[in-house]
């Protein structure tokens, strides 16, 4: 099962789809609150954490993302992008404009108290032309991460996220279920997920993937590989115990893994912040021969 977004006014044509009535298939992001909440969680997790310095650095970026949304909001009519088979914000459906670069410029200017290495990265990015930045952004959006230096990618992606999350929040369309097996990419922007989450108070423990770019969340059934759709020989690893709120879901068919977070076991979980804070679990899982299928916008492997 995959998810497709259709214009709200066409919903009546799909009223017989029982999946729509049973469960919410898609949650659009709330950019006015998501970055502020993330920053707060990152600061909390930084306490007594081996990655505390980096968590605090990420919190600084998240705070600036929240400021960008507040100070320079987007208002766009996206209705024309809901009338075909492609995810509405995918590159094949809506080419990337250079508008996101305004967010990048403001973000780079707002980061002051930091390390000498990060200061150098910021200065290098400021020297890039509009076309150079556009090329780097397109490499990232096409999952060509090796073409962009990791420290630069963090800032570029942070600006892209502010841009895309606001666009996603303004889509006036509803999600319907389709009978296909390609459910691991975001139905809004076609990007890779960060991890999956069982939302607080979710009926029957429903699982949603969280988009690394536009921050939307979409439904994918439990005990199913989110990379190849395999439903056999799925195993789970955790650092603490079987009831841990943070686990890796590992597939023996494609040897990939993705974290799964359970807010019913820890209601304070913020998926991107907690993914960074649990990097030791990634290390242990990869030692077992599994490769992460998702990306965290603050961690770009080269």
**CATH number where 12 lies:** 3.90.1670.10
pLDDT reported for residue 18? 45
pLDDT reported for residue 20? 45
Spatial distance between the Cα atoms of 157 and 140, rounded to a whole number of angstroms:
8
Encoded tokens for 28: 């659009």
Domain count, the chain: 1
- Global confidence as pTM: 0.93
85 C-beta neighbours (distance < 10 Å), count: 8
Please name which of 268, 264, 246 lies closest in space to residue 201, comparing C-alpha atoms.
264
Q: Do residues 246 and 259 make contact, with C-beta atoms less than 8 angstroms apart?
A: yes
Angle at 143 between CA 227 and CA 226, to 5 degrees: 10
pLDDT tens by residue, the chain, 302 residues: 688 888 876 765 555 454 445 688 999 999 999 999 999 999 999 998 889 999 999 999 999 999 999 999 999 989 888 877 889 999 999 999 999 999 999 999 998 877 889 999 999 999 999 999 999 999 999 999 999 999 999 999 999 999 999 999 999 888 888 766 567 899 999 999 999 999 887 656 889 999 999 999 999 988 888 888 888 889 999 987 766 899 999 999 999 999 999 999 999 999 999 999 999 999 999 999 999 999 999 997 54
Cβ within 8 Å of residue 227, ≥6 positions away:
184, 251, 254, 256, 258, 293
How large is the angle between the packed helices 150-169 and 130-141, nearest 10 degrees? 80
Question: Residue 130 is part of which domain span?
Answer: 1-302
Helix H segments across 30-115?
31-46, 52-71, 100-110
């Amino acid at each position: 099962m995959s998810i497709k977004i259709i214009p709200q006014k066409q919903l009546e044509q799909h009223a017989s789809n029982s999946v729509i009535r049973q469960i919410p298939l898609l949650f659009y992001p709330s950019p006015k609150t998501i970055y502020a909440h993330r920053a707060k969680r990152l600061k909390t997790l930084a306490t007594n954490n081996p990655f505390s310095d980096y968590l605090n650095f990420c919190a600084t970026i998240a705070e600036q993302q929240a400021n960008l949304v507040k100070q320079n909001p987007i208002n766009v009519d996206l209705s024309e992008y809901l009338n075909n088979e492609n995810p509405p914000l995918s590159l094949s459906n809506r080419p990337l404009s250079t508008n996101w670069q305004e967010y990048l410029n403001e973000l780079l200017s707002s980061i002051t108290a930091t390390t000498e290495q990060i200061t150098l990265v910021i200065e290098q990015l400021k020297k890039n032309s509009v076309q150079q930045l556009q090329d780097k952004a397109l490499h990232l959006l096409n999952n060509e991460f090796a073409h962009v230096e990791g420290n630069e990618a963090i800032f570029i992606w942070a600006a892209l996220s502010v841009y895309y999350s606001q666009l996603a929040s303004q889509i006036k369309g509803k999600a319907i279920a389709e009978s296909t097996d390609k459910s691991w990419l975001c139905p809004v922007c076609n990007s890779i997920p960060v991890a999956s989450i069982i939302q607080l108070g979710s009926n029957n423990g429903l699982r949603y993937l969280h988009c690394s770019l536009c921050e939307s969340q979409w439904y994918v059934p439990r005990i199913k590989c989110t990379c190849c759709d395999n439903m056999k020989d799925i195993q789970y690893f955790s650092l603490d115990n079987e009831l841990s709120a943070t686990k890796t879901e590992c597939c023996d068919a494609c040897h990939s893994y993705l974290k799964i977070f359970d807010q019913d076991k820890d209601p304070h979980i913020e998926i991107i912040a907690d993914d960074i804070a649990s990097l030791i679990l990634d290390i242990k899982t990869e030692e077992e021969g599994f490769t992460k299928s998702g990306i965290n916008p603050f961690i770009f492997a080269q």
